[in-house]
Amino acid sequence: MHEFNLIQEYFTWDNPPSNISVAVGDDATVLDFPAGKQLVTSIDTLISGVHFPDNTPANAVGHKALAVNLSDLAAMGATPKWFTLALTLPEIDRDWLKGFSDGLKALADQHHCFLVGGDTTRGPLSISIQVMGLVDKGRALLRSGAKAGDKIYVTGTLGDAAVGLQSESDDFCKQRLNYPTPRLAESRVIKDYASACIDISDGFLQDLSHILKASTVGANLKLFSLPLSTSLKEMDQKIAMKHALSGGDDYELLFTIPEKKEKEFLTIIANKATCIGVINKSKEQITDESGNSLTSTGYNHFHD
């Protein structure tokens, strides 16, 4: 199959939205967006055997490749609009391509995000997606706004993907690993209340440390309040806590809420987020409820 036939068959989508002037088929994409908006972009690369096991279903690979990027937009309080795809394939496998493109398009359709271009080449399996979204000018959520007294919240549950990576028998955790949920619905609420936000990709403690460094603050955590799924609650609790604190690939949102906004925030977010601590003035220090120091370990791309 020729590269251009591959693109035409699997990655040229019908009915582009009106904000796309030129999509797939030219040297570059031309996009329109309204005045008063800012463009938010993010790019992630997934490598087979590194970011997903080699035996991961193609449908899940397509879903996850886009989901991890949409999660970045959720953390910024942005609404997804478009994305590009750079796909490196070791060979043409029609069944794999069908599954991959179906998984990709299903999630894109769910969040009204349209594929507008990219590239294909031959080599070890690698997927790079650059996603683009819009946010009201000056309203993007950053990591640098947390203040002492702000409450620390997370969406969903923690540690499931880490268990899914290690356990073939836990279907729930395997699903959480292969099909992460970008928290865009929650983000639409969070963006109006949060002082800082990040998505959890490399582990809760490590990603919390990024907020603390950017905001020049510290954190005190209530470890007994960490939200755990039934799968983790039924495990040895020391192991479960390790996964919850340091396991990667959760793609939940970790954010801070000023105390004066917390009551109103809770009436709107309902049970979709859990308070797990408070920001303090101790620069970049993380402690538990007993005052013990916690080390911000997590996934490191360049650590053997």
Of the pLDDT bands very low, low, confident and very high (cuts 50, 70, 90), residue 297 is low
| Least confident among 42-46, 90-94, 110-114, 297-301 | 297-301
Look up the pTM and report it. Answer: 0.92
Query: What was the pLDDT predicted at 5?
Result: 76
For residues 127 and 30, what is the distance between their CA atoms, to the nearest angstrom?
23
Say which amino acid occupies 137. Answer: K
Tell me what pLDDT residue 2 has: 65
- How far is it, in rounded angstroms, from Cα 284 to Cα 280? 9
What does the pLDDT average to over 73-78? 98
pLDDT at 51 over 90: no
| Contact criterion met (CB below 8 Å) for 250 and 154 | no
Nearest CA to 270 among 155, 119, 104?
155
Domain borders along the chain are 3-136, 151-287
What is the per-residue pLDDT for 27? 79
Which of the listed CATH numbers 3.90.105.10, 3.20.20.60, 3.40.190.10, 3.90.650.10 matches domain 151-287?
A: 3.90.650.10
Over residues 249-295, the pLDDT tens digits come to 999 999 999 999 999 999 999 999 999 999 999 988 999 999 999 98
Output the pLDDT for position 78.
98
pLDDT band at 28 (very low <50, low <70, confident <90, very high): confident
pLDDT for 149-160, tens place per residue?
Answer: 999 999 999 999
Domain 3-136 = CATH 3.30.1330.10:
yes
